[in-house]
Amino acid sequence: MKRAARLIIFYAALLGLWTLLAQLKIWPPYLFPTPWGVGESLYAGFKDHSYWIAIAVSMRRVLIGYAISVVLGMILGLGVGSSKFLEETMGGLLVSLQSLPSICWWPLALLWFGLSQNAILFVVIMGSLLSVTLAMEDGRKQMPKIYGMAGRNLGASGFQLFWHVLLPASLPFIVSGLKQGWAFAWRSLITAEMLYLSLGLGQVLMMGRDLNDMSAVLAVMILIIAIGYVVDGLVFKSMERHLQHKWGLTPST
Amino acid sequence: MSTNAHNFPAELPVPVDPRTPAPIGGARKKSAGLTPFVRPFRGVLSDVPKVGLTDICLSYRTQSGERLLALDHINLQVKAGEFLCIVGPSGCGKSTLLHLIAGLHQQTSGQVLIDGKRVQGPGTDRILIFQELGLFPWLTVGQNVEFGMKMKGISKAEREEKTRYYLRLVHLSQFKDSYTHQLSGGMRQRVALARALATEPDVLLMDEPFAALDAQTRDLLHDELERIWAETGRTIIFVTHNVREAIRLGDRVALLTFRPGRLKREFPVDLPRPRVLEDTHVAHAAREILDELREEINRSLEVEYNVGVKPHVEPGA
């Protein structure tokens, strides 16, 4: 209850400050829109379904791209985490590749896939793959060895061992990496969508810029933040709580 | 020393099958003439040891590059249905020996034979209960017990029935849906035992399973283990550093030396069961082993604290 009150006060103050700055008219309204201007943009966007469509298109892309990243990243990470050879050869490359913003792949993606959905997917995958890979590699190393041995001892091997033992055993260690991977995937998606007529949220944002409609730009920005927050809260927070409950880590409040 | 002092289930101690004269390890010699290789019935032939260790050596490279001999020509036979305890000072390689039998590690030379057949890797005919247990925290107690059967591809109905049976056997029926972190140490031990038994291994390998428990819980688990052993007729190899515990449980006690681990002596235990840890006969039998063990412990202390004696090191290689 106390926490809710603090949150309300904080956001009310933020909104108040924004209103104040807008009302002072330091900048013209088309450069610094008022909160209700943004609210109107949001309302209009949802009313004519353009935001719904944009959200659906973007979510579909990010889900596909992220799913591919998770599967590939887990396989890669497990390989690098399990094999000394792979770690010595690929390990450094993976870390250095992570410093590369995924949008740098855009020119290549355009050449390879054309102006298409696949080019965007490629950028999304390149954005989140490395986070997942590095997290899985780390998780594989941090995971107590006893689980792998116990699994083999009880007759698990190959894919069974991965699916029933190594993966669940490493989950608590990789959940933060999965979360980071999601954030990178989401960011990469919006960036890539801003670059051409893609129908997604990124393009809607750029449309606001082209029409000099800063209310619309801010409205879409708020949408992007809100979706990121909701996914984090609904998917990853509950996943963490679930793991904590099962493993008997710090009890959730 | 007779393993039949116990009421084993009727199917276990069956007389020797005359068709297969199988000497120790001899069953593998396929080249011996035209007679086809006859696979001995599991758990039936009493003259083929259930577990046979022949000339097991294990050496590994230390960080300083020296080759350290951990196990030195271990020869040991364990009969089907026998309860063998292995004692030795810490660092004698007794846990490692269990890992070798379980097939989780590879010995440098020598062979591990189960029913005369060479061990190539892990197998559910021998299940190791780790000192740290290795229960899966992401699974419930029931799912832990079920795990080995699931890996084997046993049907769900059968798995559930057996899970119920083995949980009842270790008195944990009402904890089927709990997670392992919600249980006490003794209860977790029993889950590990049920999980191991549920895969129905011929050989149960136990690595100091009760070392971390309080005395009351340990006594209780001794009774339960003995009862389960008698009910299921499994062969048990039990590693401990507690000599009294070894006498309390074992048909035979094998003593390993400190680094390199060699088989120093074997002591048959002829005391009637059930035995009590505090019994004077147990204490008396333990005395003899303790005297020999003490020498090894002293040697281990000398090495660990660098009192003159150097560990056994093979030069070079």
ipTM: 0.71
| CB contacts, 8 Å: A243 with chain B | 138
Strands B263-268 and B235-240: unpaired
Q: How many domains does chain A have?
A: 1
Q: Does B177 touch chain A (CB under 8 A)?
A: no
Q: Which stretch of DSSP H or E encloses residue B252?
A: strand B252-256
Can you tell me the distance from the alpha carbon of A41 to that of A208, in angstroms, rounded to the nearest whole number?
10
Task: Look at residue B7 and tell me if it is in a domain.
Answer: no
Chain A contact probe: residue of B96, B136, B202, B203 with most A CBs at under 10 A = B136
Half-sphere exposure of B15 (CA within 13 A, CB side): 2
Q: Is the domain of B121 the same as that of B224?
A: yes
8 Å CB contact between B46 and B73: no
A168 vs B138: CA distance, rounded Å:
7
Looking at B148, B171, B200, which one is the last position of a domain? B200
pLDDT string in tens for chain B (317-residue length): 444 444 444 344 444 444 444 443 333 333 333 333 333 344 444 567 888 888 878 888 877 777 887 888 888 888 888 889 998 877 778 888 888 888 888 888 888 888 878 888 888 888 888 888 889 988 899 999 999 888 888 888 888 888 988 888 888 888 888 888 888 888 888 898 889 888 888 888 999 888 877 888 788 888 888 888 888 888 899 998 888 888 888 888 888 888 787 777 887 888 777 787 778 887 887 888 888 788 777 777 777 776 554 555 554 43
On whether both B141 and B269 belong to a single domain, the answer is no
Residue B5 falls inside a structural domain? no
Res. A49: pLDDT tops 50: yes
A3 domain residue, yes or no: no
* Claim to verify: residue B18 and residue B109 sit in the same structural domain: yes
Residue B173 sits in the same domain as residue B222: no
Domain span at residue B79 reads 12-38+45-125+201-314
Query: Is A36 inside a domain boundary?
Result: no
Interatomic CA distance for residues B218 and B210, integer angstroms: 6
The answer to whether residue A40 is domain-embedded is no
* Residue A209 placed within a domain: yes
Number of domains in chain B: 2
Across the interface, which of B127, B147, B179 has its CB nearest the CB of A248? Answer: B179
DSSP secondary structure code for residue B251 in this structure: S
Give dist(CA A33, CA A43) in Å, integer: 15
Same domain, residue pair B103 and B233: yes
- Rg of chain B over Cα atoms, rounded to whole angstroms, equals 20
- C-alpha closest to that of B175 among B162, B164, B160: B164
CB A100 within 8 Å of CB A159: no
CB distance from B127 to chain A under 8 Å? yes
Residue B23 counted as domain residue: yes
B220 and B108 share one domain: yes
CB-based contact (8 Å) between A252 and chain B?
A: no
Shortest CA gap B132–chain A (Å)? 8
Return the percent helix, strand and coil in chain B, to nearest 5: 35, 20, 45
Check pLDDT > 90 for residue A211: no
The enclosing domain of B102 has a CATH number of 3.40.50.300
Residue identified by tokens 């196990």 is: B71
Chain A CB within 8 Å of residue B188 CB: no
Same domain, B171 and B306: no
Query: Is residue B119 domain-shared with residue B238, that is, in the same domain?
Result: yes
Give the number of residues written for chain B: 317
pTM above 0.80, yes or no: no
pLDDT of residue B312: 53
**Cβ separation B132–A146 shorter than 8 A:** yes
Peptide bond into B274 cis (omega under 30): yes
For residues B264 and B235, state if they share a domain: yes
Q: What are phi and psi of B263, to 5 degrees?
A: -80, 110
B199:A171 CB<8 A:
no
Sheet-wide strand order for B263-268: B126-129, B203-207, B235-240, B83-87, B252-256, B263-268
Residue A242 inside a domain? The answer is yes
Which range marks the domain in which residue A114 is found?
55-247
Asked whether residue A79 is assigned to any structural domain, the reply reads yes
Write the CATH number for A84. Answer: 1.10.3720.10
Q: What is the pLDDT of residue A222?
A: 92
Say if B308 falls within a structural domain.
yes
B118 and B154 in a single domain? The answer is no
Contact B102 A146 (CB under 8 A): no
Higher pLDDT, A83 or A14: A14
What's the one-letter identity of residue B251? Answer: D
Q: Which chain B residue's Cα is nearest to A168?
A: B138
User: B38: which 2 tokens?
Assistant: 């006859």
Cβ pair B151:A168 closer than 8 A: no
| Residue B145 shares a structural domain with residue B291 | no
Shared domain for B206 and B158, answered yes or no, is no
Domain end residue (candidates: B200, B224, B244)? B200
A160 CB near a chain B CB, below 8 Å? yes
Q: What is the pLDDT of residue A60?
A: 92
Q: Is residue A216 part of a domain?
A: yes
